[in-house]
Amino acid sequence: MKIKLNALMLVIIVFITSNTQTVIAQTSKSDPKDNQGWFGAKLKLDLPNGWETSLDFQTRFINDLQLYNGSYSSVGITKKINKTIELQSDYRLAIVQKGTYHRISFGGEATKEIDRFKLGLRLLIQNQLQDFEDELKENQKEGYWRVRFEANYAPTDRIDLYVSTEPIMKFGETRTIDNWRNTAGIKIKVANRTKLNLFYIYRLDYAKAKYDRLFQVIGANVEYSFKLKKGKS
């Protein structure tokens, strides 16, 4: 079992690091591809009565990781309805090269655990507002809905492997899918309550009318979880 696990770990590490070697190509309309890096930290608070809240901060680098694009800060809250279903909502502030974006999301996720496997289906509705520094430019509002299917496998108590696929649709567009995100990653417990999340995203983008784009992302997140005990009455 240890040999198989070590081999699986080696495959994942090679898979993720090999994609870092491709971040050297220049992007253009004739070659509409970009390699990016997303790095951040997340704090999760497990609250009493099925509630949970989280704080997330992420920095992103674009143009083959040569340009700092900006930061993304999020605050989220979830409510466990039963063992299968939970409701989710969050607010995200993005301060990036193109301007300032405010995004609000609401939805839910259903999960099912089978031995060491966990399957999840998530539906989100999102409303995004872009603020422009130019006062003569009208703020831009956009609405999206997205569906994610995710599969997790925990070979040990310290390791969690996951893959997901998520089409993202934009309301009011002629093209049904705005972009499609496919993710593979590994979460490793590196300390008490602390996990390191390493991931790779293969994202197809159909937002442009005349050509499609491809974004490949390598990323790392440090996640810290804390459980708040219910006070005694």
What CATH code is carried by the domain that includes residue 22? 2.40.160.40
Number of domains the chain contains: 1
In a domain, residue 184? The reply is: yes
In a domain, residue 232? The reply is: no
Confidence of residue 203 (pLDDT cuts 50, 70, 90): very high
* Amino acid symbol at 220: A
In a domain, residue 167? The reply is: yes
Query: Across residues 176-198, what is the average pLDDT?
Result: 96
pLDDT at residue 39, rounded to an integer: 98
User: Does residue 34 surpass a pLDDT of 50?
Assistant: yes
In a domain, residue 233? The reply is: no
In a domain, residue 107? The reply is: yes
Q: Which residues pair with 170 in a beta bridge?
A: 144
CB 163 within 8 Å of CB 192 = no
pTM over 0.95: no
67 HSE (CA, 13 A, CB side): 11
